[in-house]
Amino acid sequence: MGADRRRRAAGDEGRDRVGAARHRAPHPQRGRRPLAAPGGGDAARHALLQRLRAVRLHRRRPARVVRVTSPRFGLNRFDARSVDAFAADVRRAEALGWDAALQPDSQLRRRDTYVLLAAAARATERITLGPLLANPVNRHPTVTASSIATIDELAPGRVLLGWGVGDTAVRLAGLRPARVKELEASTRLMRALLDGEAVEVGAARPARLPHHRPVPIWIAAGGPRTLRMAGGV
């Protein structure tokens, strides 16, 4: 009996500690990482990312649930010698039973991603299409949201947006990959635009995407901070 009481007391004490930790007010600066100081070629990027961090939804909607069927087998290497060759290659992949055709978004190594995806959308009927991966550095998130929504008009319900911090495409342009906070801000901005919401971006009036479409955003995440962020947006 004495051992049982000691175990129960220890359990109560542990729960008290967990409860106190959950209700402790977070430090206002904890977890925040400052942006790099502007200057040189980074000035425009710095101004853009500052705006992204200040984005506010013009009106809030309740969270929605989107059911997405994950492709089981996908390809991201296609004949990109021409737009027609790419579309024909994706059509062949569809005929062979592949679930997804995903195109890297690297402007200095391949033709424009969204032109290729548009051609593939016209040439196919079933296969899922999307960039793998787009990023918030090479293109402003409002541009990406508009482009991917337009592709979804051509291939309704079979488009996804692969999204990450940027690697080869960014470095080849002499830029730096986005930080996790910047990736989060840009994801929230695009999600709101694709949902048809108005967003404050510091312009004369709130930004709105007139041709919004419910395109799912797939975030590439490996580390714990990015995984936590992806689960929260």
CATH number at residue 199: 3.20.20.30
**Residue 4 domain flag:** no
- The span from the CA of 44 to the CA of 52, in Å, is 13
Contact 66, 94 (CB under 8 A): no
Q: Assess if residue 209 is contained within a domain.
A: yes
Asked if residue 13 is part of any domain, the answer here is: no
Give the Cα separation of 51 and 38 in Å (integer). Answer: 13
pTM: 0.70
Asked if the structure places residue 56 within a domain, the reply is no
Number of compact structural domains in the chain:
1
- Examine residue 48 and state whether it is found in any structural domain, yes or no: no
- Residue 15: inside a domain, yes or no? no
pLDDT in tens, the chain (233 residues): 555 554 444 454 444 444 444 444 444 444 433 434 334 456 666 666 666 665 555 544 554 544 556 668 888 878 878 999 999 999 999 999 999 999 999 999 999 999 999 999 999 999 999 999 999 999 999 999 999 999 999 999 999 999 999 999 999 999 999 999 999 999 999 999 999 999 998 899 999 999 999 999 999 998 899 999 888 88
Task: Note the pLDDT of residue 222.
Answer: 87
Domain residue limits at 122? 75-233
Look at residue 107 and tell me if it is in a domain: yes
Establish if 36 belongs to a structural domain.
no
Contact criterion met (CB below 8 Å) for 150 and 4: no
